[in-house]
Structure 1
Amino acid sequence: MGRVEGKVAFVTGAARGQGRSHAVRLAEEGADIIAVDLCEDIPTIGYAMARPEDLEETARLVEKTGRRIVTAQADVRDVAQLRAALDAGIAEFGKLDIVVAQAGVAGMKGEPQIQAWCDVIDTNLIGTINAIQVSLPHLGDGAAIVATGSTAALMDTSKVDNPGADLGGMAYVHSKRALTHYVYDLATHLAPRGIRANVVHPTNCNTAMLQSEPMYRSFRPDLEHPTRVDAEPAFGVQQAMRIPYVEPEDISNAIVYLVSEEARYVTGVQLRVDGGGYLKWYDYHV
């Protein structure tokens, strides 16, 4: 029997990367999946978003495990779209046990900068809140929520070298930090109802977000057009362990634990999967 056998999981950002990995890993452990993704580009985000065929591939991989899946193209920034997608999944499966609020974007070097700030906040913070809020009426005793934060949210960014120079990049840090506080407070007030809420904080993760031109420029600002070959040696600066990044499956394994019965008394936790990044960069004087 799988660790989440017979449960139903709602996963946002499920078309590729971490979201796909979470959906497939939960299915391998016995869950049916409600999977949503935008599947179209956001103009201020400097790398391509997932496509409808990516979401179809997620469905194929979930079905390959023997579990069922309902998919929908939905924008987490639009609560009506998200609610409709979730309602369709619950109509099929009859319940909801697990929420994995994964959908997120990185707005580094995004232009125009004010719009990049708004798009990142709307997706990463408001979109996460939307995913959780539409789910709450369907959750009961034993349910589990996990939001995806970032090790960046736990670092001291009060002394920025050039404030205002990259609003999209700073919006990523702020959005992850704010959702961390939201989930922490939510966990406190849901605990008496038997509903758990936690945040998992990845470091660099080997997905299309990391392997993108805006991210390469962030790691190698000394080069005008850095490539993966240029940037990847610099990825290791984020971690204390000698690794450039973690894999999506590393985060998925943490999520499976957090939503399983093994973690039935674990709530309000900030679980870092960061190769020691927090240990390396946290400023104990903040």
Structure 2
Amino acid sequence: MSSWDNMLEGKVAVVTGASRGLGRSDALALAEAGADVVITDILIESDENNEQEAERFGPVAQVMQSTNVMYADQTAQEIQAMGRRSAAIKMDVTNPEQVKDVLAKVKDEFGKIDILINNAGTLDHMSQIENQNDEFWQRDLNVNLSGSYNCTKSVWPYMKEQGYGKIINMSSVAGTLGGFGQASYSVTKGGLLSFTKSMALEGAKHGINVNAIVPGIVGTEAFNMGNTKMNDRMINRTAFKEPGKPEDIANAITFLVSDKAKYITGVGLNVSGGIELFMF
């Protein structure tokens, strides 16, 4: 057995937006490394209100709901089959009181919360400024930025009390490079990098590490729904000329929340295939 095996043994993690895509991959990777993992999402297979929830959050959520691309319960079952504890819980990150209640429930049932992955996000608002939808602008701020704030604020007292915690915020290269027709998305992802640094400063004296992942193009269900020509243009901009895989992000997260990375805090780690490099 190497020193990497079961390096998260005994830890309890919460992953938001984990019913599919990057969140699901993150949850499975954390469990494989030894953690107990709680899956949260607005879409849970067993919930009777999925259609209404999807309607509130926009086109991507609606497509995922209508095509049954939601695996929160399934992911929890897969984690349990590994011998870990897990549960799938409906949680809207834009609702501070619900977030507070859900995380209190997790703390009560699992005993603690060591790891928080702020993965829940929206990705479907693509319009130049004169056509930006004001409601979607506000939605993106609420989900991508305030959602991470709500979850971090609610989990902070638990981590502070135990003198230990690992928080990962999911940014994007759109937050570092900008994104044409992605004003709301880019703003929220850039804001998360500043939020990460501020929380890293506040958390250091309490043993709380706060970092961000900066993904590039990743072959998730949402990405594969996109325009093929546009996807190819973005892929060709990467140094590797191929999209990343969800497990590429999950592996980086697993390292950052482990004690192997105990002296790393306040960073935005690019896991992007070199899309930010100068290409010609």
Q: TM-score range by the shorter chain?
A: 0.7 to 0.9
Contact residue 13 and residue 38 of structure 2 kept, 8 A: yes
CA deviation after TM superposition for structure 1 residue 43, in Å: 4.8
CA deviation after TM superposition for structure 1 residue 59, in Å: 1.0
Change (3 A) 1:181 1:42: farther
- Distance in 2 (CA, whole Å) between partners of 1:237 and 1:114 is 32
- Distance in 2 (CA, whole Å) between partners of 1:119 and 1:88 is 26
Identity of aligned residues (%): 32
RMSD between aligned residues: 2.0
Contact residue 70 and residue 89 of structure 1 kept, 8 A: no
Runs of 4+ residues deviating >6 angstroms:
none
1:264 to 247, 262, 265: 262
Tell me what 2:201 maps to: 188
CA deviation after TM superposition for structure 1 residue 66, in Å: 1.2
Tell me what 1:254 maps to: 252
CA deviation after TM superposition for structure 1 residue 112, in Å: 7.4
Contact residue 249 and residue 271 of structure 2 kept, 8 A: yes
Contact residue 114 and residue 166 of structure 2 kept, 8 A: yes
Tell me what 1:197 maps to: 210
- Distance in 1 (CA, whole Å) between partners of 2:17 and 2:124 is 16
2:12 to 5, 8, 13: 8
Contact residue 142 and residue 264 of structure 1 kept, 8 A: no
CA deviation after TM superposition for structure 1 residue 7, in Å: 0.3
Gapped regions of structure 1 (runs ≥ 5) = 161-165, 217-227, 282-286
1:117 to 137, 142, 157: 137
Contact residue 36 and residue 85 of structure 1 kept, 8 A: no
- Distance in 2 (CA, whole Å) between partners of 1:115 and 1:153 is 20
Q: What is the DSSP-based 3-state SS (H/G/I as helix, E as strand, rest coil) of the residue aligned with 1:100? A: strand
The one-letter amino acid paired with 1:276 is G
Gapped regions of structure 2 (runs ≥ 5) = 44-52
Report 1:69-108 matches (<5 A). 69-108=86-125
TM-score scaled to structure 1, two decimals? 0.84
- Distance in 2 (CA, whole Å) between partners of 1:47 and 1:192 is 40
TM-score scaled to structure 2, two decimals? 0.85
Per-residue Cα deviation, 1:42-92 (whole angstroms, up to 9, x for no partner): 456332355585211111221121111122111100011112221221111
CA deviation after TM superposition for structure 1 residue 235, in Å: 3.0
CA deviation after TM superposition for structure 1 residue 206, in Å: 1.1
The one-letter amino acid paired with 2:273 is G
